[in-house]
Amino acid sequence: MNNGKNDVSEVLDAVIVGAGFSGLYMLIRLRELGLKCAVIEKGGDVGGTWYWNRYPGARCDIDSVDYCYSFSPKLLKEWRWTERFATQPEILRYLEFVAKTFDLKRDIRFSSTVLSAEFDENADTWLVSTSYGERIEAKYLVMAVGNLSEPKRPDIQGADQFIGNELHTSKWPKDGVDFTGCEVGIIGTGSSGIQAIPLIANQAKHLYVFQRTPNYSMPARNAPLEPNYIEEVLADFEKRRETSRRSDAGTPFPPSNKATFEVSDEERSAMFEAGWKRGGINSLSYAFNDFFTDEIANQEAQNFARKKIQEIVHDPITAKSLSPIHHIGTKRTCVDTNYFETYNRENVTLVDLRSDPIQEITPHGVTTKSRNIKLDSLVYAVGFDAVTGALNAINIVGRGGQRLRDAWNDGPATYLGLMVSGFPNMFLVTGPGSPGVLSNMVVSIEQHIDWIAGAIEHLNSRSFTRIEASSDAQDQWVAHVNELAEGTLYPQATSWYLGSNITGKARVFMPYVNGCGNYRSECEAVVRDGYRGFQLTTGSFIQQREDA
Ligand code: FAD
Ligand code: NAP
């Protein structure tokens, strides 16, 4: 079929890019609306994050019973998690199970990359080109490309010279890696590095950890899930999930209503200890309500976390090197099993790059200012071009020939993190300007997909052909997101939230910090107000304009 355009190979209602949690659920929802869709996925199978990140120790750090879909009673009935924090293989099995349950793979094209997408203003359609040579015309384009899916290239002198076994946590070989008897180096101590280090150390002859910035990490306290506990959670699941949906972080645990200095020193210490004992990402951040906003309050939590590191790590110099100094929580807090304990092993050496920087990667290892370290394997755990990387990797051309990359040159701008002015009928999932990456992402993903499906249903049922965010609404949203962030400590850290991990990337704090619940209410209000801030049109006739 070609709709009269010679170079179009296929005409569909919607193209969805990506087959992770977002793309799979979007496909289910759009099929329910009767749309003919295709999912285009770069990877060889479903899973997204959980397809690519197969490094040892990879697991979620949100409780498994919450890090899953809630939309399907069948999935809830038939799936059982086995651990508090599921491993990568278990989450991948879950997503395979979802794909099988809903027979999704017949509409997914694997090992195909979307290279470009161009909006046709006359037809109100997108023309999507893939590495497979397809040219698909579709009314709607859903970018379910992930926030943490575009790996950062190691920006280190000589990075292409190493002739040993070079590995990237975000592109880990499917068959695993055996480090037995090997001298191994790992660069990066973010969440990925911190999960991988204890397991690589268990196997390697010697592990050198190259650390530029130490990070705060909370103990996971991972454990098998008792069947009784799971049944208890499931019995009340809808209530638990609704609490998550209306919460700040997309989790069912209530934040504290107490400020740090409202309590005595003893009480404060007891609350931090209780959090540390409970474990998980919010071990300390949920103790008090001024954790992210008050510098002095935040210091109390920092001091507690540094004291714990000093108690665990025997060598005082190593302990000091491992002790972070930034405001806790402003770079994403990590969650680990035996991370700090690993530095007590004889076969692990911490190389503190602040005092002994890497000069170059050589064919046989790493040269720092003070020494040459010979390695058999070098693991890069250096992170991602987060939030905007996967979008900017595609040549997206909107109205008037404008490229998304150019529109976002000074930092991303969206309305609600869902749409971009000038790029009609293109939806983002958990895009910049939404709370996505600061939350349990599955809760945020479900909300976004439901919102997008609702918008598409609204358009189709009223014969609108185009939806676009107005530039005024977008400007106001961007200003609001920035203002909220400025009221917190977040922008003070050099973090991927701000784009500061990528050379040359604009420094803009990307997430919405006011919580999933407030954000959801705003998205609902926008719909109630007749898609306030969006222009819905049929051909050139504007049926609905943004509110004045
Ligand atoms: P992804 O899972 O990233 O899927 C996007 C897909 O799009 C990818 O498969 C990619 O190949 C594909 N794609 C991208 N560009 C193109 C293109 N041009 N053409 C074709 N295909 C393309 N979040 C939490 O809330 N809790 C956690 O515990 C947690 N743990 C994480 C652990 C790791 C190691 C990482 C990296 C992230 C983690 N996250 C976690 C965030 C995680 O990314 C999200 O929770 C969630 O999996 C995102 O789903 P998604 O479908 O939106 O994106
Ligand atoms: P990351 O948090 O960005 O960490 C990257 C690490 O590499 C940092 O320690 C960074 O140091 C270091 N690095 C980067 N470039 C370097 C260089 N040139 N020289 C030396 N060091 C360099 O990436 P990530 O660990 O992959 O995690 C990304 C996000 O994915 C997380 O924040 C989280 O949202 C998610 N994730 C979650 C889990 C989980 O527990 N469930 C696991 C993995 C990932 P600097 O800090 O100095 O830049």
Largest CA distance in the chain: 75
Which of 25, 29, 49 most suits a substitution to test ligand 1, by most atoms within 8 Å of the C-beta?
49
pLDDT at 162: 97
The two three-digit tokens of residue 350, written as one number: 């911490």
Name which residue sits closest to atom 47 of ligand 1, judged by CA: 49
pLDDT at 5: 61
Nearest one of 227, 157, 128, 188 to 378, comparing CA atoms: 188
pLDDT at 208 over 50: yes
Task: Provide, rounded to the nearest whole percent, the portion of the chain with pLDDT above 90.
Answer: 95
Q: What is the distance of C-alpha 106 from the center of its chain?
A: 27
Determine the atom of ligand 2 nearest the C-alpha atom of 62.
41
Determine the atom of ligand 1 nearest the C-alpha atom of 112.
20
pLDDT at 415 over 70: yes
Q: Tell how far the Cα of 86 is from the centroid of ligand 1, in angstroms.
A: 16
Determine the atom of ligand 2 nearest the C-alpha atom of 191.
25
Pocket of ligand 2 (CB under 6 A): 60-61, 148, 155-156, 187-193, 195, 212-213, 332, 335, 353, 381-384, 496, 501
Which of 15, 115, 143, 149 most suits a substitution to test ligand 1, by most atoms within 8 Å of the C-beta?
149
Q: Tell how far the Cα of 217 is from the centroid of ligand 1, in angstroms.
A: 22
Say how far apart CA 399 and CA 422 lie, in whole Å: 5
Tens digits of per-residue pLDDT, 172-198? 999 999 999 999 999 999 999 999 999
Q: Tell how far the Cα of 213 is from the centroid of ligand 2, in angstroms.
A: 10
pLDDT at 90: 98
Burial classification of residue 3, based on how many CB atoms lie within 10 Å of its CB (0-12 exposed, 13-18 middle, 19 or more buried): exposed
Tens digits of per-residue pLDDT, 366-392? 999 999 999 999 999 999 999 999 999
Residues 474, 418 contacting (CB under 8 angstroms): no
Cross-strand partners of 138: 12, 126
Q: Tell how far the Cα of 505 is from the centroid of ligand 1, in angstroms.
A: 21
- Residue 254 — pLDDT band, cuts 50, 70, 90? confident
Name which residue sits closest to atom 40 of ligand 2, judged by CA: 61
Nearest one of 179, 191, 149 to 50, comparing CA atoms: 149
Determine the atom of ligand 1 nearest the C-alpha atom of 436.
25
Say how far apart CA 143 and CA 426 lie, in whole Å: 7
Nearest one of 285, 350, 280 to 322, comparing CA atoms: 350
Say how far apart CA 261 and CA 270 lie, in whole Å: 13
Tens digits of per-residue pLDDT, 426-442? 999 999 999 999 999 99
- Residue 6 — pLDDT band, cuts 50, 70, 90? low
DSSP line for 79-127: ----BSS-BHHHHHHHHHHHHHHTT-GGGEE-S--EEEEEEETTTTEEE
Q: Tell how far the Cα of 310 is from the centroid of ligand 2, in angstroms.
A: 22
The two three-digit tokens of residue 408, written as one number: 């976002």
pLDDT at 547 over 80: no
Nearest one of 538, 233, 196, 461 to 348, comparing CA atoms: 196
Name which residue sits closest to atom 36 of ligand 2, judged by CA: 191
Alpha carbon of 548 to those of 190, 373, 467: distances in Å?
Answer: 45, 64, 17
Of all ligands present, the nearest one to the C-alpha of 51 is 1
- Residue 256 — pLDDT band, cuts 50, 70, 90? confident
Of all ligands present, the nearest one to the C-alpha of 155 is 2
Q: Which residue has the tokens 């920006």?
A: 155
Tens digits of per-residue pLDDT, 467-509? 999 999 999 999 999 999 999 999 999 999 999 999 999 999 9
Pocket of ligand 1 (CB under 6 A): 17-23, 40-43, 48-49, 51, 53, 58, 60-62, 67, 113-114, 144-146, 148-149, 192, 390, 393-394, 429-430, 440-441, 445
pLDDT at 313 over 80: yes
Tens digits of per-residue pLDDT, 323-365? 999 999 999 999 999 999 999 999 999 999 999 999 999 999 9
Say how far apart CA 270 and CA 56 lie, in whole Å: 34
Q: Tell how far the Cα of 256 is from the centroid of ligand 1, in angstroms.
A: 30
Per-residue pLDDT, averaged over 255-261, amounts to 91
Q: Tell how far the Cα of 203 is from the centroid of ligand 2, in angstroms.
A: 22
pLDDT at 548 over 80: no
The residue type at 62: I
Q: Which helix (H) or strand (E) holds 535?
A: strand 534-538
pLDDT at 269 over 80: yes
Determine the atom of ligand 1 nearest the C-alpha atom of 49.
2
Tens digits of per-residue pLDDT, 74-104? 999 999 999 999 999 999 999 999 999 999 9
Q: Which residue has the tokens 């409202």?
A: 262
Of all ligands present, the nearest one to the C-alpha of 149 is 1
Q: Tell how far the Cα of 344 is from the centroid of ligand 1, in angstroms.
A: 33
Say how far apart CA 100 and CA 123 lie, in whole Å: 35
